[in-house]
Amino acid sequence: MSTNTCVCCPTFRRGFAPRRPDRPQVCEVCRLRFDTLVYDLWLLHDRLVNPDPAEVDQRRYARRDQQGKRTGEHRWADPLAPIGGAGTIPGKTNQPHVSGTPGRSTPANLDQVDLTSPARVPNPTAAGRRDPWDQIGHLSVATRLYEIVRDWRDTLWPDQHLPVPTMDELVAWMRAGATDGYAGDRTDHACTRHPGIGDTAAELHDLRRILRAQLGDTEPQPRRWIGVTCPTCNEVSQIQQTAGDEYAECAECGRMYTGDQMTEFVTKQAAATRAVATA
Ligand SMILES: [Zn+2]
Ligand SMILES: [Zn+2]
């Protein structure tokens, strides 16, 4: 180990000084963030593969007869009415199938297709590896996770079998034993012992950004408590919270605070400010 600061902090805690971890390589905060990252990749991938169903129009209308009187019957509103209805749906043709006959064109979003392809088991080329996301289109998420899983297995668990290369199995393998406050045995060991863990964190972090962009999600912004003083180091406006994180953290002294603690400080400090203002 050539460094005694956390190798994942530059990725997961951008804007904060890297922590000095209690255990080799990775601080406790970043271990949890690594696990959250893998879980997020699974969720995002799932959304790409199974897009939200089109919204169904829940309105109903009373059916009327030709004289305009209610028939007592109700019908669902046509969900496609605002765009002029569904139009004709091509039925199955009676003509014999001719091979080479063009069918419907495929949806044109090739990025999405790449990202959700099944794992390609052989290694990509060296060129692809140098810049895997931009040069050869997006490698599929499953392909990249499979490579990481195989790398972890070869390095740390050479006696174990590889999981089946599906997203569900790969993510379950990486997150084995993960609970609310624990990254799981697999990720925990990899954080302590895998020499490439910092690079892997950075790459998967980038992949999450690409998946979010693909889904049209905006990258969640950190919350910052402007004007609030850190009770530990007395610096003002340094407490921040990464979106989705349970704890807020002071960028100056590194102390972590729960939501309840933050509510307490903010309430106390606001009361103190009011007291001064009305004195
Ligand atoms: Zn860290
Ligand atoms: Zn502080």
Ligand in nearest proximity to the CA of 238? 2
Q: Looking at residue 13, what is its pLDDT?
A: 85
Ramachandran category for residue 234: left, alpha or beta (phi over 0 → left; psi -120 to 50 → alpha): left
Q: Are residues 209 and 230 in the same domain?
A: no
Spell out the residues 6+ positions from residue 128 whose beta carbon is closer than 8 angstroms to its own.
Answer: 135, 136, 139
Q: Are residues 121 and 186 in the same domain?
A: yes
Ligand in nearest proximity to the CA of 236? 2
Query: Which of 165, 197, 214 finishes a domain?
Result: 214
Q: Looking at residue 106, what is its pLDDT?
A: 47
- Interval between CA 197 and ligand 1 midpoint (Å): 11
- Interval between CA 138 and ligand 1 midpoint (Å): 28
Residue 132 pLDDT > 50, yes or no? no
CA–centroid distance for 176 within its chain: 18
- Interval between CA 47 and ligand 1 midpoint (Å): 29
Domain that holds residue 257: 223-278
Q: To the nearest whole number, what is the mean pLDDT of the chain?
A: 80
Ligand 1 (ion): residues with CB under 5 Å are 6, 8-9, 19, 27, 30
Q: Looking at residue 100, what is its pLDDT?
A: 54
Q: Are residues 196 and 255 in the same domain?
A: no
- Interval between CA 251 and ligand 2 midpoint (Å): 7
Number of domains in the chain: 2
Q: Are residues 274 and 162 in the same domain?
A: no
- Interval between CA 253 and ligand 2 midpoint (Å): 4
Q: Looking at residue 91, what is its pLDDT?
A: 53
Q: What is the pLDDT of residues 10-69, one digit of tens each?
A: 999 887 889 899 999 999 989 999 999 999 999 999 998 887 665 555 556 666 777 777
In a domain, 81, yes or no: no
Ligand in nearest proximity to the CA of 231? 2
Q: Looking at residue 107, what is its pLDDT?
A: 47
For the ranges 75-84, 155-164, 218-227, which has the lowest average pLDDT?
75-84
Q: How far apart are CA 158 and CA 39, in angstroms?
A: 24
Ligand in nearest proximity to the CA of 18? 1
In a domain, 209, yes or no: yes
Query: Full-prediction pTM beyond 0.85?
Result: no
Residue 90 pLDDT > 60, yes or no? no
Q: Are residues 187 and 257 in the same domain?
A: no
